[in-house]
Amino acid sequence: MRKYVFGLILLVLLFVLAACSAKTIKVEGFSAPESVTSDGTYFYVSNVGEKLRPMDKDGDGYISRLSADGKVIERKFITGLNAPKGMTVLDGVLYINDIDHIKGYAVADGKQVLDLDFSVDGTSFLNGMTVIDDGKLLVSATDIGSLFVVDPTSAGSFHRLECDTDLYGPNGLSYDSKTGTVYLCSFGKDNQPNGIVGKGHIDGNRFYFEKTCRRDGFYDGMVYSDGEVIFSDWVDFKKEGVLIRQDLETGKLSTLELGEKIGGPADLYLDTKGKRIWIPMMLENKVMIVGY
């Protein structure tokens, strides 16, 4: 009887482990992958380059294109970038933050259709990006602690938002179109894990922000879905990174079970259609795809 019970427990355990491993895919062969986005059919990964130098204009950055099951279709779908980071797709155009420029490429053929220069505003670290109302983009500039609203349809016009609150190196952005709420996490200042998590709204040329979490960290990616946010924390610059979930009604925090810590979890993407999270493992040159 004891042997039977032990065997049954072992069988159940193996089944659970197999089921968990089946939900997780790791794709290799990237070059400091920083962000993932999708056009609904394909998935795109931004690669900072062969060396993790996010502010170097060295021309070795590129965008990879993958299928929905994680197979690399074109490792270098778009080339000639410097250090591409946050991305989003809007109306058939892939918009990319590339140091002090925002560049747009048609997803149909990879041809460039937009190039906006932000260098006059003093930034060298355009980072997070999300779509907000009226077909506009919201972009974070981590190094100068600012947010920009971009209208790519109006000759690429943009303006900086005023904010009375120190955003501590704003990074990941997500948007709830039903309430007009912007969710934001920041990487921190002075090389310290003092990044913050919170929400805000845009009113004219101003951004009003409030913290929603007392936990500080090296925060990178941020996604909102169904009353909760998920954000990534590098923790340190080793393989110690985690994903944190926060229930926005209760404020409760929990750590997602990924099976392992991650080296540099960057600008993640929530695939609601496939019920998966795509996580760039920036320090490991991989992308993890995990079910949720």
The neighbour count for residue 86, using CB atoms within 10 Å, is 29
Q: pTM (2 decimals)?
A: 0.92
- Token reading at 98: 């590339």
Choose between 154 and 260: higher pLDDT. 260
Instruction: Give the list of residues 6+ apart from residue 29 with CB closer than 8 angstroms, or none.
Output: 72, 75, 285
**How many Cα atoms occupy the beta-carbon half-sphere of 159 within 13 Å?**
9
Classified as helix, coil or strand, 120 is: helix
Average confidence (pLDDT) over 94-123: 97
Q: What percentage of the chain exceeds 70 in pLDDT? A: 92
Task: For residues 63 and 1, give the distance between their C-alpha atoms in angstroms, rounded to a whole number.
Answer: 58
- According to DSSP, the residues that pair with 254 across neighbouring strands are 245
Average confidence (pLDDT) over 116-129: 97
Average confidence (pLDDT) over 255-263: 97
List, for residues 139-156, the tens digit of each pLDDT value: 999 999 999 999 998 778
Task: For residues 47 and 36, give the distance between their C-alpha atoms in angstroms, rounded to a whole number.
Answer: 10
Domain ranges of the chain: 27-291
Average confidence (pLDDT) over 77-83: 98
How would you class 38 by CB atoms within 10 Å of its CB: exposed for 0-12, middle for 13-18, buried for 19 or more? buried
Q: Which residue has the tokens 């922000």?
A: 209
The neighbour count for residue 159, using CB atoms within 10 Å, is 11
List, for residues 160-192, the tens digit of each pLDDT value: 999 999 999 999 999 999 999 999 999 999 999
Mean pLDDT in the chain? 92
Residue 280 region, left (φ>0) first, then alpha (ψ -120 to 50), else beta? Answer: beta
Choose between 224 and 22: higher pLDDT. 224
How high is the pLDDT of residue 154?
Answer: 75
Q: Burial letters for 58-78: b for 16+ Cβ neighbours within 10 Å, e otherwise?
A: eebbbbbbbeeeeebeebebb
How high is the pLDDT of residue 153?
Answer: 87
CB 230 within 8 A of CB 217: no
Task: For residues 113 and 105, give the distance between their C-alpha atoms in angstroms, rounded to a whole number.
Answer: 5
Whether domain 27-291 has CATH 2.120.10.30: the reply is yes
The candidate with the shortest Cα–Cα distance to 118, out of 102, 105, 139, 130, is 102
